[in-house]
Structure 1
Amino acid sequence: MSMVVVLLLLLPCALLCLFSCAAAQLTPDFYDKSCPTLIPTVRAVLQKAIAKEPRIAASLLRLHFHDCFVNGCDASLLLDDTPSFTGEKGAVPNNRSARGFRVVDRAKFAVEKSCPGVVSCADILAILARESVVLLDGPSWAVQLGRRDSTTANRSAANNEIPPPNSTLANLLSKFQAKGLNAQELVALSGSHTIGLSRCVSFRDRLYNFSGSGRPDSTLQPHFWEDLRAKCPRFHGNNVVAPLDAHTPLHFDNLYYHNLHASVGLLNSDQVLYSTSGPNSTRAIVTRYRDDQGAFFADFASAMVKMGNISPLTGTSGQIRKKCRRVN
């Protein structure tokens, strides 16, 4: 057998090892010795924040998602703009809607007091996302830890790679698949919209000019359409908010999927998970989660772990930022 053939045969194994070894560097016990108080410290900060504003839990979960979808889970979203640096906070999906940065700051400050220079902002954000779900009665999962923080950000990628609220199902599937996430994981992770609020600007087109038609989205239930029009005027009120789940917006459950089944999903990117037909339809997955909250919880937890493993910086890559808003 020639050397070239041997190398070709070994290449897939080498690549598999490369990707699996990178993922293996993230472990739930990464800080057990270097910062054993990490989880309770972060949880205490979050409990105070949620007691003051329960909505913040959904905002922190969204921060983790928006961070991971741009160059991986590296806390790049947390970086502020400077005269010589353009961050991701001003990107369309984040501008005036990304929230929770002060909670991250407070959690980082508390962790730094007990474990200076040890824990990354990316890991703190991942922990805050898990604890936010748990504190609103959702599932738990073993957060994989050991990420390091980026020294750069990518506003262009934030504008292009985070799925917008008017996404079609095809667009959602494409953007999730680009991150290594399949259709089931798309539907499970979309279930995070069982908590939180969304701004009028994110769903106004469905009420007045859906897809440029000059008419409302025909999938909207008439009573739901009337309720939303009363909250969201046609020409103003961009920052007026409506609950993503009108029934239990502060409780993590599976009512989001009941809403989709009843055609009262708030965002187009929600409703298309059920209303789109064809060979790539995700309707059956929505129905499964509607009928079985345990299945949703299990799949959501698994998908969160997988999403948290998107291109992490590990080893000597990146840095452990002293403050999450700026590089060291």
Structure 2
Amino acid sequence: MGSVATRIRQVLGILWVVDGLLQCQPAMFSPLFWHQVLQPVVVGQPPVVLFLLREGIHLWREGGIWANGLAAFLQLGIGGLLLMKRPGWYRWGLWLSLGWALVVWIFGEGFGGLLLPSASLLTGAPGSALLYVVWSAILLFAPDTVESAAIALMRGYWGLGLFLGQVAGRHMGPALIQMAQSPQPAWVSRPEYLLGHWLTVYPGWGREVMTGLWGVLAVLWTTFPRHWSTWALTGWVLATMWWTGMDFGVLGGTGTDPNTPPLVAMALAVVIGSTMPGVRRQPRGFTPFPAMRRIVGHD
């Protein structure tokens, strides 16, 4: 496994450890976890998906504190395996990461909220667990293509945002206001509430601004994926969404993970890291034709 893939695996391991520690919060072993985390997942889902989610959540409730304890232990274990140096151990971690993240994406995130009317990058779609699946699959099956996979992930993510923004734009405001009401510091909830209020009062403008921004990023990652302006705009948008749309994902006592922006930022870091060392200035008299380079003495 290359150095870039190794760093991605280590960051993925750290995120799993963070998720496991968040799963150990006192509120996660109480009915508050059911009311604030699991129950909202089923609201607004299509009937077929609703049946599947209810069955899975029912099994979770039957398990009680043991189910939550097992989830915490599993996530800490996955993180520990991914941080090990021996290929045999961290490959087990990658397989467990892929499988458990898929379970969490379906039953814990309700397919990342993609089937809800409020589905949007701003509210966490397509779900952080799906990105765990993607990164685990890349590291398992194509670790030598991490750089190209990171660019493809960026194109797909912002392209999805453009699509979802057109479909569910008018529902973003109420979803943000609801999230702003969860227990958290005022400096976090206030911007989220203001943005939610603006998107509720001006849903048309909000949809156009958001989808326009995501559309620009989709174009930039298609045409200029290695330009500093693409990186700067991406970093700013991710940070803003993480704050004003997802309240950093870990606050309120029932946060289960840092949400999608850190996992998307991993792709940004891969592209920047793979580009910066390879920047070379063209020599004077440079010509793209090998024969002419030999004639003018550059070879």
What TM-score comes out, normalization by structure 1 length? 0.28
Which protein has greater RCO, CA pairs closer than 8 Å, 6+ apart?
1
Q: Which is richer in helix?
A: 2
Larger Rg: 2
TM-score, structure 2 normalization: 0.30
